[in-house]
Amino acid sequence: MKTIKKEIELKGYTIVKKLFSKNEIKDIFSSYEKNIDYCIKLIKGKKNIDNLDKKYLFLKKKNKLLKSRSYDLSKFHPSIYNFALNKKLDKILKNYFKEEFFLDLPQIRIDDNKNSFILPPHQEIYGQISQNIITLWAPLSNVSKKKGTMGLIEGSHKEGIKRHHFYSINKKKYHGVDKKIIKNAKFKYLNLSPGDAVLFHPLLIHSSRKNISNKIRWTFVARYNGISGINYLKSLSSPLRIKQKVK
């Protein structure tokens, strides 16, 4: 456990192999597939689609709004919280924080080869609840350079908060590190299997690599916020989330 904390402090992240079991991953997929099945039934769609990837892409094609709403609801399914509060993970987090911490924004991330939500390189501090935060990124399917994966600049967390700007993606604004800052930076791309997990520091500069395969990349993301870094409790004028100080 001490090694995990030291590695995050040194490199900005740690990789925990086989943190999640096959059954836990199966429960995540099962709950989401039932969600998609119900939505396909609502639009009187095909009944013989044989896997989740195809079902998701079918719903996305036939009714993009319903697909988005089914995804929104997936964040509230009990399987999501069971996964995010895995016993082994809970033990790691308690050892890391040594104080009360709060779960925020647990969710599945779905990336097909349209790569509609590939975010610019950024730090995980703006928009969060606590300055003392650890983010979990866990593949539910194999990830690689071809299928898309997490890219990071090892050790970048030691350089403090970087200047960010807003970038427009699909008519929405997302913050990202000033491109000049990372112009010559070397990104490390991770090859991981289902059940593996990355825990990383909020100031680690990271991004997603595009999925250029014909399969969906499924990942799970959650944030854990230490109570000592929550200004919302210390100042009555502070908002719940850290304001995005970007241009």
Q: What is the pLDDT of residues 17-44, one digit of tens each?
A: 999 999 999 999 999 999 999 999 999 8
Mean predicted lDDT score pLDDT of the chain: 92
pLDDT above 80 for 247 = no
Query: Residue 31: its pLDDT value, please?
Result: 96
Q: What is the pLDDT of residues 142-196, one digit of tens each?
A: 998 888 899 999 999 999 999 888 777 777 777 888 888 888 899 999 999 999 9
Distance CA 8, CA 157 (A): 9
pLDDT above 90 for 224 = yes
Distance CA 65, CA 30 (A): 22
Distance CA 183, CA 179 (A): 6
Query: Residue 245: its pLDDT value, please?
Result: 61
Which helix (H) or strand (E) is 88 found in, with range? Answer: helix 87-97
Confirm if 203 and 9 have CB atoms less than 8 A apart.
no
What's the average model confidence in pLDDT over 49-62?
94
Amino acid (one-letter) located at 18: K
What's the average model confidence in pLDDT over 132-151?
94
Query: Residue 174: its pLDDT value, please?
Result: 77
Virtual CA dihedral for 135, 214, 79, 109, nearest 10 degrees? Answer: 30
Q: Kindly state the tokens that stand for 222.
A: 């959650």
Query: Residue 164: its pLDDT value, please?
Result: 86
Confirm if 150 and 206 have CB atoms less than 8 A apart.
yes
Phi and psi at residue 36, in whole multiples of 5°?
A: -65, -40
Place of tokens 């929405």: 172
Q: What is the pLDDT of residues 89-126, one digit of tens each?
A: 999 999 999 999 999 999 999 999 888 878 889 999 88
The predicted model scores a pTM of: 0.93
